[in-house]
Structure 1
Amino acid sequence: MHTVPDGVEVVASRERARRLGSPPLLVLDAVTGFLDAHGIGSGPLAWQRIGDGHSNVTYLIERGGESVVLRRGPRPPLPKSTHDMVREARIQRILHGHGVPVPEILAVCTDEDVLGVPFYLMSRLDGTVVTDAIPAHLSPAAERRATSEAVVDTLVALHGIDVTRGELASLGRPEGYLRRQVDRFRGLWEVNTTRSLPAVERISDWLARHLPASQAASVVHGDYRMGNLMFAPRAPARVLAILDWEMATLGDPLADLGYLTATWSEAGRPTTPLELTTVTRSPGYLTQRQMAERYRSRTGLDLTPLPWYQTLALWKAAIFCEAIYTRWRRGERPDDTTFGPSLETGVPRLLERAGQYADLTATARRR
């Protein structure tokens, strides 16, 4: 934990923040005042950046024996209708009431004068997020399998919630979800890139021509992967919380399954920038195919069109990552020295993998 600012990402005061050319992400006196207003801790605070996210930013805040987690968007300017922390907090509050494992939302700040963007505070959970190292208690072969199964079963439970009544029904319009996804992200590419990658248009045309009929309506997390799950600190494998609800809405549940399987690391498959939990390349974890079969056996949904959803997932990911790459090139991500520059080749790799799910490479060869 840090008890002093680093002078760029985190500063001690609003006065110091005003003198910087690029706004900081955390202003300690502003956060202290917000904590005071909500009766959270006392005295000086300590902070630590946590999580592997490349979009929104999360900090662990400790103060007077109390620990909370602060989540905010990146530095402005922000693309329209993105990084909506107020909506993200509201979604979690609603889902908490339906038994979905999410952190408790403690406070929401809509006043952009505090940190420059809205943010919220949530409870700190004692758990483990699995990314590039296997925790000891989840390392035995049986626990590796159980971990994979918990990932699928938690998604099945989320998709089983009735979204037709109450506050949940206000979170989105399931009808036409897939068409809107294709149209929206096609438009986002045009405003978030400075280069020509013809595969984007080729894949978007294929998606539009082969649009499947949705079999069900559910909460769609939008970024459902193992790195966005917190597991209990002791065996057996159990999901304590689903994290990062920025992309959540109501729509087609197979969109989540397509994303989960398409980004799932598996031995023998090529890597992409979305491979954020590399441990599942190790023996003992379920394969993409096994995970899809477990999901099918528990939901009864027809997975014949799953390659379409996997294509959509990686195509969207490429467009999202291109926005990050463009922001990095413009100097809007000064702390990013690895992920942003890697996307020069990473985005084309995502598009290539998306084309493989759509079998566009084979189609191009047959022409």
Structure 2
Amino acid sequence: MSDDGDDGTETHGGDDAYFRRLVDEDALRAYLETELGPASTFEVTRHPAGHSNETLFLTWGDRRLVIRRPPPGETAETAHDVLREHRVMDALQETPVPLPETVLACENHDVLGCDFYVMSRVAGDVLRETEPERFANESARRRLGEELVDTLAAIHEVDPAAVGLADFGRAEGYTRRQVDRWGKQLAWAFERTTEEREVPVLREVGAWLDENAPETHPETLVHGDYKLDNVLYGPSSDPELRAVFDWEMSTLGDPRADLGWMLSYWRDAGDPDPAVPELETTFMERPGYPTRRELVDRYEQRTGTEFSHQRFYRALAVYKLAALGEMFFRRYLEGNSDDPMYPLMEERVPALAERAKRIVDGEEPL
């Protein structure tokens, strides 16, 4: 997916009714004129990527900007908290963590009917389905992986208190709460989905996680959804990670959970077939990309934090993916979604459960 908006960008002409729910162009123009000064060019398009907050590409004069806002309609009290996302990004502006420049944050619902924020638009590519041609060599592939893990280390090395984030979450007990939270989400999904089929392996994995959750853990800022397609690489042939996106799950917590999550999306050559082939990319199996073990070694050397209990953190990540899939399956069964991915979860969740069990049993090593 190219950041330039020419590939897969949906303008308001494609779906006028939905776009009008997202943007009141007259109110937005007036707001921007007040905050940024007048501009001769004003254009807004919607980018369809992502499944949570909405991303709008904005041209204001010669400035290329991005608006992040929640989806229209009712949202849960703590979901889609874009101003929380803005807060952490704004706090990290002067740190080594690569981010778009934050421009504006707006709580006035007279503008778009919701909170939103504006940030600069960064040129480059988000890697989803394949690697850019300029990275199709072993040297660039290795550097791409190193940039990914080095940036995660940079996030974890931030002193939250020094950047005004000392109260950004409750780090103590984060890992135990993760196990409990996703167990409850899964139990909710099972209330309906077990009428269609059982996933006993997932219950086994949940019990193992409950028994093996570390009692103590390091405490840092965590991103919460750190993976390859939530970062952007610049346009040069030498991979440079220029921006980390999607901070809505960020908090204070256990950095090893972030590492386990990132690794759950990273494949080694010879791995079993993807459990969810529709969502998992495999190009990092090509020669030159670092292995999971090499990424962990580099992270440990960079941070001084040992990735102990690695089976737990990697299994937890896949368990969370399976719980999400089972929740999607329940919504499909209840007629609450027309997403074509959701019915596939009838088979994909058991496959994820088997993967988590392989990690627990040491059959899918680093």
TM-score tier, shorter chain, comes to: 0.7 to 0.9
1:282 and 2:286 equivalent? yes
Partner residue of 1:174? 171
1:302 pairs with one of 306, 312, 316: 306
CA distance 1:360–1:296, shift in 2 (3 Å): closer
What secondary structure, in the 3-state scheme, does the structure 2 residue paired with 1:320 have? helix
Q: How does 1:155-234 map to 2 (within 5 A)?
A: 155-165=152-162, 167-191=164-188, 194-196=192-194, 197-234=199-236
1:260 and 2:262 equivalent? yes
Aligned-residue CA RMSD (Å)? 2.9
Partner residue of 1:69? 66
TM-score normalized by structure 2? 0.83
Cα distance in 1 for partners of 2:130, 2:64 equals 25
Amino acid at match of 2:107: T
Gaps of 5+ in 2: 1-8
CA distance 1:25–1:190, shift in 2 (3 Å): farther
Amino acid at match of 1:38: E
CA distance 1:60–1:321, shift in 2 (3 Å): farther
Structure 1 residues 163-172 or 267-276, which shifts more?
267-276
Q: Kindly state the Cα deviation for residue 210 of structure 1 after the two structures are TM-superposed.
A: 0.5
Residue by residue, what CA displacement relative to the aligned partner does 1:43-74 show, whole Å, maximum 9, x if unpaired?
552414154x2222222222444321122233
Partners of 1:227 and 1:276 within 8 A in 2: no
Partner residue of 1:144? 141
Q: Kindly state the Cα deviation for residue 88 of structure 1 after the two structures are TM-superposed.
A: 0.8
Amino acid at match of 1:290: E
Gaps of 5+ in 1: 12-23, 363-367
Cα distance in 2 for partners of 1:131, 1:331 equals 29
Amino acid at match of 2:358: Q
Cα distance in 2 for partners of 1:34, 1:340 equals 39
Structure 1 residues 202-211 or 192-201, which shifts more?
192-201
Q: Kindly state the Cα deviation for residue 192 of structure 1 after the two structures are TM-superposed.
A: 5.2
Partners of 2:12 and 2:19 within 8 A in 1: no
Partners of 2:70 and 2:82 within 8 A in 1: yes
CA distance 1:173–1:254, shift in 2 (3 Å): same
1:7 and 2:7 equivalent? no
Partners of 1:32 and 1:45 within 8 A in 2: no
Partner residue of 2:78? 81
Cα distance in 2 for partners of 1:177, 1:101 equals 25
Q: Kindly state the Cα deviation for residue 184 of structure 1 after the two structures are TM-superposed.
A: 2.0
Structure 1 residues 143-152 or 103-112, which shifts more?
103-112
Partner residue of 1:245? 247
Q: Kindly state the Cα deviation for residue 321 of structure 1 after the two structures are TM-superposed.
A: 3.6
Partner residue of 1:120? 117
Amino acid at match of 1:356: R
Structure 1 residues 304-313 or 70-79, which shifts more?
70-79
Q: Kindly state the Cα deviation for residue 90 of structure 1 after the two structures are TM-superposed.
A: 0.4
Partner residue of 2:274? 271
Cα distance in 1 for partners of 2:336, 2:33 equals 31
Q: Kindly state the Cα deviation for residue 354 of structure 1 after the two structures are TM-superposed.
A: 1.8
Partner residue of 2:344? 342
Cα distance in 2 for partners of 1:96, 1:188 equals 34
Residue by residue, what CA displacement relative to the aligned partner does 1:91-137 show, whole Å, maximum 9, x if unpaired?
11111233321112222233445545432221101122112122122
Q: Kindly state the Cα deviation for residue 243 of structure 1 after the two structures are TM-superposed.
A: 0.9
1:134 and 2:137 equivalent? no
TM-score normalized by structure 1? 0.83
What secondary structure, in the 3-state scheme, does the structure 2 residue paired with 1:294 have? helix
Partners of 1:50 and 1:60 within 8 A in 2: no
Partner residue of 2:315? 311
Partners of 2:45 and 2:56 within 8 A in 1: yes
Partners of 1:144 and 1:284 within 8 A in 2: yes
Q: Kindly state the Cα deviation for residue 172 of structure 1 after the two structures are TM-superposed.
A: 1.4
Structure 1 residues 123-132 or 190-199, which shifts more?
190-199
Cα distance in 2 for partners of 1:215, 1:125 equals 35
1:59 and 2:44 equivalent? no
Cα distance in 2 for partners of 1:247, 1:116 equals 23
Q: Kindly state the Cα deviation for residue 357 of structure 1 after the two structures are TM-superposed.
A: 1.4
Structure 1 residues 123-132 or 142-151, which shifts more?
123-132
CA distance 1:277–1:32, shift in 2 (3 Å): farther
Cα distance in 2 for partners of 1:38, 1:333 equals 39
Cα distance in 1 for partners of 2:313, 2:44 equals 42
Cα distance in 2 for partners of 1:33, 1:7 equals 21
Q: How does 1:42-53 map to 2 (within 5 A)?
A: 42=40, 44-49=42-47, 51=49, 53=50
Partner residue of 1:106? 103
Structure 1 residues 188-197 or 248-257, which shifts more?
188-197
Cα distance in 2 for partners of 1:278, 1:347 equals 19
Partners of 1:127 and 1:232 within 8 A in 2: yes
Residue by residue, what CA displacement relative to the aligned partner does 1:294-349 show, whole Å, maximum 9, x if unpaired?
22232333334111001111112222344444455566556x4x433433333332
